[in-house]
Amino acid sequence: MITLYQQDKVWFITGCSTGFGRQIAEQAIHAGYKVVVTARNVEQITDLTAGHEEHTLTLPLDVTSPDQIRTAIDQTIEKFNRIDVLVNNAGIGYFSSVEESVEAETRRMFEINFWGLMHVTNAVLPYMRNQKSGHIINFSSIGGLTSFPTLGYYHATKYAVEGISESLAQELAPFNIHVSLIEPSGFRTDWGGRSSAKTETTIPEYKESIVGQMLQGIQLGAGQEAGDPVKLAKALIKVVETPAPPLRLLLGQQAYQAAKHKFTTLLESMEEWKETTLDADYQD
């Protein structure tokens, strides 16, 4: 049962037209929160707030536009006077070998996945610091912890989100502001379709390797992913209402298995090379 205090929380969610953002907005509205629903195309999200106008706000937001960010935050404060939960969900993917990646595509992805996320965060932070409370939820990925072929630059954007979120969590702790990284594996959100771009390999050696195999298989698994977006959205509500929320939340069995493999092998390598590692310091 959600208390009155919990219902008074104001959520600000980016990228709500499809996928995770849409499900999170829908679940948060259903739970009785005050919710600001944003997307580049407002027409795609008006159905989410229909009938809930008193407790919701629908706003246009391209996270690469500083002017739109400022306007959206101002309108949110004007209506609700505060922002308690920021969900940085907006993001895109890009598939290619690292060598063949198109710089314009990778820079666009960084503008959305990293800089867009940070510009929205920095616009919200003064209000959260003034409130002495808040929760920033940054969408990373299992791809923010471990890497796979054909996603090199996507991984780079998510590793950047992971790194800055760790620093941010430490800096904001004195203000009672929490930071949580969401790290899902494959979910049925069409991330590999409309939300991603792809550059086909033309180098014969890559075509015959795992790069070519993965590029060919991108669409084959679309719509068959194990992850349930509704369950993810409900998990976010649980995280928001937990007194001590986690810095990281893996979601999906594949995410758990991939992360466990990454850190198990990392620890094994650390121990194998421990002597060389410790010997690098000056000896007293």
Active site residues: 140, 154, 158
Look up residue 248 and give its two tokens.
């990281």
Alpha helices in the chain (DSSP H): 4-7, 19-30, 46-49, 66-80, 103-110, 117-131, 152-172, 204-207, 210-217, 229-240, 253-272, 274-278
CA distance 153 to 190: 19
Tell how far CA 112 is from the center of its chain. Answer: 11
Look up residue 182 and give its two tokens.
């969401």
- Please list the helix, strand and coil fractions of the chain in percent, rounded to the nearest 5, in that order: 50, 15, 30
Identify the burial level of 258 via C-beta atoms within 10 angstroms of its C-beta, where 0-12 means exposed, 13-18 middle and 19 or more buried. Answer: buried
CA distance 242 to 235: 11
CA distance 221 to 167: 35
Tell how far CA 37 is from the center of its chain. Answer: 16
CA distance 258 to 132: 36
